[in-house]
Amino acid sequence: MTQEEAIQKIEGACKVISLEMMKLTPNARYIREEEIAGDIMKASYQLTIELEVIKKKLIKLKGRDDSSLL
């Protein structure tokens, strides 16, 4: 597998994870235990932050690849 293929697979996984993450917060609001609902929402937020870190690193990596062609 090439680096480009790996990047594409990781980006695809990130997209799937992002779509699934969007379901957490709205559904967590229906959890009657406020503390647990809050913990779920907090963890969801942290996961989203970490997912964005991965996506930004891939963008940076792709930018390096493009600049090497010049």
First to last CA, the chain: 24
- State yes or no: pLDDT of 65 exceeds 70: no
Q: List Cβ neighbours of 28 (8 Å cut-off, separation of 6 or more).
A: 37, 40, 41, 44
Q: What local confidence, expressed as pLDDT, does residue 54 receive? A: 97
Query: Could you give phi then psi for residue 68, rounded to 5 degrees?
Result: -75, -15
CA distance 31 to 12: 30
Calculate the CA dihedral of residues 63, 64, 65, 66 and round it to 10 degrees. Answer: 50
Grade residue 64 by pLDDT with cuts at 50, 70 and 90.
confident
Residue whose entry in the numeric block shows the structure tokens 């010049």:
70
Q: Which residue has better confidence, 62 or 56?
A: 56
Read off the pLDDT of residues 9-56 as tens digits, 9 standing for 90 and up: 999 999 999 999 999 989 999 999 999 999 999 999 999 999 999 999
